[in-house]
Amino acid sequence: MAVRTLIVEDEPMTRRLLTLRLEHIGCEVVGAADNPRDGLSRFRESHPDLVTLDIQMPEYDGLDSAGLFDAIRSEDPRCEIAVITASAFPAHRERFIKAGALLYELKPVDFRRLADELRKYFPSLNRST
């Protein structure tokens, strides 16, 4: 069974790479958004199992993006959220991990490690990475 995934990421190349790598391990990318506001709208439309969330986007800093994280967690506590960001601020990492983030991965993304971490929570993902 595919893991329905929403990507919230402002960089088009990173969105494309995430889409390709996630689909390769068995995720079904059901949508993408380039900011938290659109991310919440797409989340409500698609009801994914997993959201990948960049927290550093134009007009949104790490803690501003926390609003999307909190909205998703309150609307669907079963939806897992993987923070994938360039923000190495310890306060950001601590805030999202304490709030229940599945993982906090720094860019550039190590896709092998990302796949291994996702398989811990979604064992149906294939192991061909």
Residues 21-61 pLDDT 10s: 999 999 999 999 999 999 999 999 999 999 999 998 888 77
Say if 127 falls within a structural domain: no
Q: Is the dihedral of CA 45, 126, 84, 104 positive or negative?
A: positive
Which amino acid is located at 65 in the chain? S
pLDDT at 74: 95
Say if 55 falls within a structural domain: yes
> Where in the sequence is the domain holding 94, given as residue range(s)?
3-120
Question: Measuring CA to CA, how many Å separate 120 from each of 58, 74, 107, 124?
Answer: 32, 23, 20, 10
Residues 93-118 pLDDT 10s: 999 999 999 999 999 999 999 999 99
Q: What is the DSSP letter of 68?
A: H
Global pTM value: 0.94
Say if 38 falls within a structural domain: yes
Say if 126 falls within a structural domain: no
Backbone angles phi, psi at 51, to 5 degrees: -120, 130
What mean pLDDT comes out for the span 73-86? 96
Say if 129 falls within a structural domain: no
Q: Say if residue 83's pLDDT is above 60.
A: yes
The total number of structural domains that make up the chain = 1
Identify the CATH number of the domain in which residue 36 sits.
Answer: 3.40.50.2300
pLDDT band at 129 (very low <50, low <70, confident <90, very high): low
Say if 128 falls within a structural domain: no
